[in-house]
Chains A and B, each alone.
Chain A
Amino acid sequence: MLPRHRRFLGICLVLLTVGLASFFILKSFQDNLLYYLTPSEVIAGKAPEDREFRIGGLVVTGSFFRQTGSLTSQFVLTDGSASIEVSYKGILPDLFREGQGIIARGKFNSANLFIASEVLAKHDENYMPPEIHAMETSLE
């Protein structure tokens, strides 16, 4: 084999590998993007179908409901103009509170109830009530 041929073959191999890897990476990218929406945007129909996304908003005071002894809780998220009812089975984060900003990840079920698979509380030192101390640390 001539050196020229060898180099050509090498380049082809490299390109093939890079191409395959990029394909998989891009695909996994597409599958794993999580949109972050506000309740108004969701109501306006921007939510992706059949795929999880995140909603950020405030928990409406007085909307939190849970049956005694049940792991499932329900509450309403709002951004001031639109609200969305959320159901979550699991343990809520320590910082979860009514009137508090949270992020819920999940999707709608057939009855148009948002089923959250994860609930995160947002905390920000300057813009949130004192219950919520920022975790501004650890280099982050």
Chain B
Amino acid sequence: MKRLLPIAIFLGLFILLARSLFVPQMDLPSPLIGKQIPSFSLNELGKSSTVTHQDLLGDIALINIWATWCVGCEIEHDFLVELSLDQDLDIPIIGINWKDRDDLATRWLIQKGNPYSKILSDPIGNTAIDFGVYGAPETFLIDDQGIIHYKHIGPMDRQNFEQDILPRIVALRK
């Protein structure tokens, strides 16, 4: 009996640690879910034309916050390109290039491929703050009215896309 005590204590601790792993990290609850995207007016990357939040309405779309300095963005980039080529899914991805330099961003897209249907440049980071962005990469799912339905923190990959985002897109399209 006495010998089983250490292992019992350990089991308790172990379960605690295991469960804490599966609690979402730094889960700043996104208060924006269910709300309209914040209003903004940003330049398109490398162009002089401006885009406002109203230009994003009319389509179910993903908004992806990214930057060239961000390692997570590098990881998810190939998947984004793959996603943009998926004819069946056919979902526009709007990029917001956050706190970055336009020349670096342009070169990155030439080298790695461009998955975005529109890229907005947010060098100061004000729009990202309005979006409640905590870091990059972050991806928002919006419907055709511009209502935010989901926010994904960190790099996206096929697994978490199919698990968390795809079902929501399908539901929205119904």
| Physical interaction between A and B | yes
Question: Residues of A at under 8 Å CB distance from B?
Answer: 38, 40, 56, 58, 60-61, 78-82, 99, 101, 124-130
CA distance A99 to B122 in the complex (A): 12
**How far does the Cβ of A106 sit from chain B's closest Cβ, in whole Å?**
19
Q: Which chain B positions have C-beta within 8 A of A56?
A: 28
Contact A61 B124 (CB under 8 A): yes
- Of A78, A80, A129, which is in contact with the most chain B CB atoms at under 10 Å from its CB? A80
CA distance A38 to B30 in the complex (A): 10
Contact B124 A58 (CB under 8 A): no
Contact A101 B135 (CB under 8 A): yes
Chain B residue at smallest Cβ distance from A59: B129
**How far does the Cβ of A66 sit from chain B's closest Cβ, in whole Å?**
20
Tell me the dominant secondary structure on chain B's binding face. loop
**How far does the Cβ of A75 sit from chain B's closest Cβ, in whole Å?**
13
Q: Is B32 an interface residue (CB 8 A)?
A: yes
**How far does the Cβ of A62 sit from chain B's closest Cβ, in whole Å?**
8
CA distance A126 to B71 in the complex (A): 5
A101-B134, A126-B72, A128-B135 given; A38·B29 CB < 8 A: yes
Task: Select one of A60, A101, A129 contacting B99, CB under 8 A.
Answer: A129
Q: Which of B1-57 contact A (CB under 8 A)?
A: 28-32
Q: Is B131 an interface residue (CB 8 A)?
A: yes
Q: Which chain B positions have C-beta within 8 A of A127?
A: 70, 72, 134-136, 153-154
CA distance A99 to B136 in the complex (A): 13
Chain B residue at smallest Cβ distance from A38: B28
Q: Which of B64-83 contact A (CB under 8 A)?
A: 67, 69-72
Contact A61 B28 (CB under 8 A): no
Q: Which chain A positions have C-beta within 8 A of B92?
A: none
Q: Is B59 an interface residue (CB 8 A)?
A: no
Contact A81 B32 (CB under 8 A): yes
Q: Which chain B positions have C-beta within 8 A of A58?
A: 129, 134
23 contacts between A and B (CB under 8 A): A38-B28, A38-B29, A40-B31, A60-B129, A61-B124, A61-B125, A78-B132, A79-B28, A80-B129, A80-B130, A80-B132, A80-B133, A81-B32, A82-B31, A99-B99, A99-B125, A99-B129, A101-B134, A124-B135, A126-B135, A126-B154, A127-B153, A128-B135
